[in-house]
């Protein structure tokens, strides 16, 4: 059977949202989710370079927006496996009208969940919220677990394990290596060098955030276009340049609005970092995200970055980590899948009754 491909130009998209109110609503909700991702998730990428004062917050946010775009652009051109994993993870097939309602319900659930977490300054993973909300809505639509494509969903479990273990271990190893290499150096002379290195680490993290999360949310945007256009059987897509730009701009806007609270929670409250430690955490997390993106495993930027910071802190001593903050984060991660999944399920049922 030949793959049915989704391809849409910007003028065609404008025409569609002008004449199709359902598509307009779907597009607005998807952009809202992307903005919330920038609001709650993207700040993790730049938290360390801001907390170590390598970059002022405003400059870091601008840098993050630019590098998010390049991350989306380059990784999508090289390898769109993460996007395809999310696109094919759930089955919204059947009646495209109900499928679109279910997708919209999932997006509302994700926004509600993310804003609640932001309110308390907890860096919840929008990737996990996205996966959970979509899965809950697909189950509600199909009235069974048939709404889940387990061959793709299992990659999420791999991602959980990968980001937790690899992020922590790499953070621990990298900071140990850096500490060993520069153990005899004059600390005052290395501060300036590590500030520059920290900026490089922040750039790498922002780039990889776009490479991972940008692909996830663009796939949902294109899924919404396909469903609201009545193309429920589309199984492949081409990511247009205009969508990459749009996602990057909206994500950057979200970071500029609400990023500081998450930056403080991750970069300042969890572990007190020197510049070389912040650099080590960024390098470790970026390496983990690169490996995940190339292999098509969807991981959480939040999960990866925070576990890398924990590994860096633990390398100094276990008491250097504020385990109270860590406990709050872990609790939120654990609750995201059942909590946002149930919210997506209930929202989908409500939307199909009301609309």
83-108 per-position pLDDT tens digit:
667 767 787 766 778 888 888 999 99
Closest of 263, 264, 267, 273 to residue 320, by C-alpha: 273
The DSSP call for residue 269 is: I
3-state secondary structure of 355: coil
Higher pLDDT, 324 or 287: 287
Total domains in the chain come to: 1
- For every residue of 271-335, DSSP letters joined together read B---HHHHHHHHHHHHHHHHHHHHHT----HHHHHHHHHHHHHHHH-GGGB-HHHHHHHHHHHHH
Q: Are 271 and 233 contacting, i.e. CB atoms less than 8 angstroms apart?
A: no
The residue with tokens 């520059």 is: 196
The DSSP call for residue 97 is: H
The Cα 259–Cα 57 span in angstroms is 9
Mean pLDDT, the chain, integer: 80
The Cα 89–Cα 224 span in angstroms is 14
Q: Above 50 in pLDDT, residue 39?
A: yes
Candidate from 27-36, 254-263, 310-319, 339-348 with smallest mean pLDDT: 254-263
CA atoms within 13 A on the CB side of 92: 34
How many C-beta atoms surround the C-beta of residue 92 within 10 A? Answer: 24
How many C-beta atoms surround the C-beta of residue 262 within 10 A? Answer: 25
- For every residue of 185-223, DSSP letters joined together read S-HHHHHHHHHHHHHHHHHHHHHHHIIIIIHHHHHHHHH
Tokens of 25: 């609503």
Sign of CA dihedral 306, 308, 309, 313: positive
User: What pLDDT, on the 0 to 100 scale, is given for residue 5?
Assistant: 57
> Among residues of the chain, what percentage have pLDDT more than 70?
85
Burial of 272 (0-12, 13-18, 19+ CB in 10 A): middle
3-state secondary structure of 2: coil
Taking only Cα atoms into account, the Rg of the chain, rounded to an integer number of angstroms, comes to 20
User: What pLDDT, on the 0 to 100 scale, is given for residue 123?
Assistant: 57
User: What pLDDT, on the 0 to 100 scale, is given for residue 175?
Assistant: 92
How many C-beta atoms surround the C-beta of residue 301 within 10 A? Answer: 30
Q: Are 199 and 54 contacting, i.e. CB atoms less than 8 angstroms apart?
A: yes
Query: Could you list the residue range(s) of the whole structural domain that residue 339 is in?
Result: 5-354
Higher pLDDT, 51 or 345: 345
């Amino acid at each position: 059977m030949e793959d049915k491909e989704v391809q849409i130009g910007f003028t065609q998209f404008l025409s569609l949202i002008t004449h199709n109110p359902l598509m307009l609503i779907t597009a607005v909700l998807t952009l809202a989710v992307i903005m919330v991702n920038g609001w709650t998730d993207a700040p993790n990428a730049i938290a360390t370079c801001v907390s170590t004062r390598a970059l002022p917050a405003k400059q870091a946010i601008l840098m993050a927006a630019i590098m998010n775009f390049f991350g989306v652009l380059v990784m999508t051109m090289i390898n769109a496996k993460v996007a395809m994993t999310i696109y094919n993870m759930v089955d919204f097939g059947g009646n495209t009208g109900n499928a679109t309602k279910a997708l919209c319900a999932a997006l509302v659930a994700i926004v509600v969940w993310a804003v609640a977490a932001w309110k308390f300054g907890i860096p919840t993973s929008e990737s996990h919220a996205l996966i959970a909300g979509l899965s809950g809505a697909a189950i509600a639509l199909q009235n069974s677990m048939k709404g889940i494509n387990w061959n793709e969903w299992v990659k999420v479990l791999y991602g959980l394990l990968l980001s937790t273990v690899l992020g922590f271990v790499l953070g621990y190893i990298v900071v140990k290596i850096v500490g060993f290499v520069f153990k005899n150096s004059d600390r005052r002379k290395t501060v300036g060098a590590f500030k520059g290195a920290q900026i490089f680490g922040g750039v790498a993290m922002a780039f990889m955030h776009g490479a991972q999360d940008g692909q996830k949310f663009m796939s949902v945007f294109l899924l919404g276009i396909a469903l609201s256009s009545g193309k429920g059987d589309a199984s492949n897509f081409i990511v247009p340049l205009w969508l990459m730009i749009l996602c990057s701009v909206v994500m950057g806007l979200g970071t500029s609005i609400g990023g500081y609270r998450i930056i403080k929670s991750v970069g300042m409250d969890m572990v007190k970092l020197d510049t070389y430690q912040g650099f080590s955490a960024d390098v470790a997390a970026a390496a983990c995200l690169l490996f995940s993106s190339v292999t098509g495993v969807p991981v959480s930027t939040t999960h990866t970055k925070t576990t890398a910071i924990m590994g860096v802190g633990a390398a100094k001593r276990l008491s250097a980590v504020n385990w109270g903050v860590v406990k709050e984060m872990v609790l939120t991660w654990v609750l995201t899948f059942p909590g946002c999944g149930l919210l997506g399920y209930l929202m989908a049922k409500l939307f199909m009754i009301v609309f």
